[in-house]
Each structure stands twice: as C-alpha cells, then as structure tokens.
C-alpha cells in the first residue's frame, strides 16, 4: 500500500511546470491516455511520487509509463535506481523512447494495453 503524504511545495511546482512544457511524445501519448481512453483506466501525468515525478501513472493498475529522450542514454544508472524504487512499491514500469511514441504510437499503445490487462510484456528496447 502506498502511503500518501503531503507534497513538498517544490515537488508540486516542478510537476506543474512539467505539465505545462510537455515534449512532443508526451503530448501524443497523453492524447491517447487522458479521459479514461485506455480501457477506462485513469492516468495522471507528471505525477509526483516520493522524490520522483512520473511521466504517466495509473495508480489503480500500479503502472508507470516513462518516456525517455536522448538525455537518458547518460542516465541509465539513475533510471535503474528509480525503477527499482517504484518496483519495490508494487509498480510495474514501462519505458519507451520518445521516437517510438512518435513513430510507432499504435505499437506503444498495444504494449500499454497488454500491461493494463495484466498480460505484462517485457519492456521494449525499441520498436525500430
């Protein structure tokens, strides 16, 4: 069970700022996930949890979706630590490259849909 605590003002400010400045890939994916379009599951974007701000999360399904751009090539260790932290709290983490969301949206949505149905595939490295 997740223990919800009051957000620190800086975390709240950061998540709001990130929602106002989404990447192209985040905009595309959000248009597909918002308003319960994915199997009636509610997603939140740029949602603070612990010391992290999650790109997308469905709290009900305990599914986190992270979109990675080129800067993540240099942050693999940080991303692994973050993923472990989330998994220790019962979340399943899917990671997609921005270019996969932009160029292969339907394939990305299929992986997300299977994860929501608890038919969780291994996280893709890349569709191309």
pLDDT tens readout for residues 42-62: 999 999 888 889 999 999 999
Any domain includes 122: no
Mean pLDDT of 93-121: 90
The answer to whether residues 18 and 53 touch, using CB atoms and an 8 Å cutoff, is: yes
Question: pTM (2 decimals)?
Answer: 0.78
Instruction: Reply yes or no on whether the pLDDT at 128 is more than 50.
Output: no
Tell me, yes or no, whether 35 lies in a domain.
yes
pLDDT tens digits for range 8-44: 666 655 555 555 566 899 999 999 999 988 888 999 9
Please report whether residue 127 resides in a domain. Answer: no
Count of the separate structural domains present in the chain: 1
Looking at the chain, the number of H-run helices and the number of E-run strands are 5, 4
What CATH number does residue 100 fall under? Answer: 3.40.960.10
> What spatial distance separates the first Cα and last Cα of the chain, rounded to whole Å?
37
Question: Above pLDDT 70, what percent of the chain?
Answer: 71
SS3 118: coil
Nearest partner of 126 among 67, 54, 57, judged by Cα = 67
Residue 78 domain boundaries: 9-116
């Amino acid at each position: 069970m997740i223990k919800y605590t009051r957000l620190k003002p800086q975390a709240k400010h950061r998540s709001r700022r990130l929602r106002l400045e989404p990447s192209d890939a985040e905009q595309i994916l959000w248009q597909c996930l918002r308003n319960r379009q994915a199997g009636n599951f509610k997603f939140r974007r740029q949602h603070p949890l612990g010391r992290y701000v999650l790109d997308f999360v469905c709290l009900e399904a305990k599914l986190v979706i992270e979109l990675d751009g080129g800067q993540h090539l240099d942050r693999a260790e940080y991303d692994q630590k973050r993923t472990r932290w989330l998994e220790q709290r019962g979340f399943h983490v899917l990671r997609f490259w921005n270019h996969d969301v932009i160029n292969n949206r339907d394939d990305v949505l299929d992986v997300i849909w299977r994860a929501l149905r608890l038919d969780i595939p291994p996280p893709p490295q890349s569709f191309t």
